[in-house]
Amino acid sequence: MPQTAEPPVIVLVRPQLGENIGKVARAMLNFGLVDLRMVAPRDGWPNPSAGPAAAGADIVLDQAQIFDTTAAAVADCSHIYATTVRLREDTKRVVTPEEAALEVISQPGRSAYLFGREASGLDIKDVNMANAILTVPINPEFGSLNLAQAVILCAYEWSKTQSLSQPTVTDQLPPAPQEQLDGLIDHLEGMLKPKGYFLPTNRADATKRTLRNILTKPGWNHLEIRTLRGVLSTLARKIRAD
């Protein structure tokens, strides 16, 4: 991947609702995009409804640029993708979000994704300005995506070309050491033996092996093992009279 490749610009052409603009900002920042441009937002800018909907993606809203025309919004862009369904009379090439993302990182110059207003999408003049049509396979019986959904599809595919971290993976605790797992198994076996669980004695070893296999599979971390041993200790206590 070229080191000089720039992230795509997200251009909202005549967006209508502040809430949708905020949700777009949230979707962008989730996947590492911050360059938001708007063409003649219906309710002006700034819009007080955008902030709460952005859920903390304030950097995107604070840096958003406003333009009077689509041409002005993409004046510094070399590659323009119009997000829309394919028009029968249009001869422009058609790409998916994945294909567009791969092009963005491989071609010099800035790229822009155009998104139309919520009610009617992009005007034909806006589509004519684009180098390609960006569309997704969608249910022909129900092809209604909201603005933020459309943006997130494109932003996600671009993010797959980058090295974004996955905190939900790195934050997981490692499996507990074998010593702690053995302690849990011994604890459980010690409670089961007086109850006759390992009878008949000729099947005791096989039963213990099966029990160990069951307890080994999950890969418990040390907190989970401590919790399970606490449960076992509680179950082993005599019931106290109130």
Tens place of pLDDT per residue across the chain (242 aa)? 444 578 999 999 999 999 999 999 999 999 999 999 999 999 999 999 999 999 999 999 999 999 999 999 999 999 999 998 756 566 789 999 999 999 999 998 999 999 999 888 899 999 999 999 999 888 878 877 899 999 999 999 999 999 776 655 556 778 888 999 899 999 999 999 999 999 999 999 999 999 999 888 888 888 989 999 999 998 888 776 65
3, part of any domain? no
Does the residue 67 lie in any domain?
Answer: yes
**Is residue 10 within 8 Å of residue 42, measured between CB atoms?**
no
Q: What is the pLDDT of residue 2?
A: 41
86 and 199 part of one domain: no
Same domain, 121 and 198: no
Q: Where are the beta strands (DSSP E) in 84-235?
A: 93-95, 111-115, 132-134
Domain that holds residue 152: 9-164
Considering the domain boundaries, does residue 1 fall inside one?
Answer: no
Residues composing the chain: 242
Q: What's the CA dihedral at 8, 11, 17, 23 to 10 degrees?
A: 0
pTM of the shown model: 0.69
Q: Which two tokens stand for residue 235?
A: 């179950």
Q: Same domain for 151 and 39?
A: yes
> What pLDDT was estimated at residue 142?
80
Which pLDDT value is given to residue 122? 92
Domain termination site, one of 164, 187, 202: 164
Res 54: pLDDT: 96
Q: What is the CA radius of gyration of the chain?
A: 28
End residue of a domain, out of 164, 197, 215: 164
* Coil vs helix vs strand at 228: helix
User: Which of 47, 137, 62 lies closest to 98, judged by CA?
Assistant: 137
Tell me: do 54 and 123 sit in the same domain: yes
Same domain, 32 and 96: yes
**Could you say which of 133, 164, 195 is where a domain stops?**
164
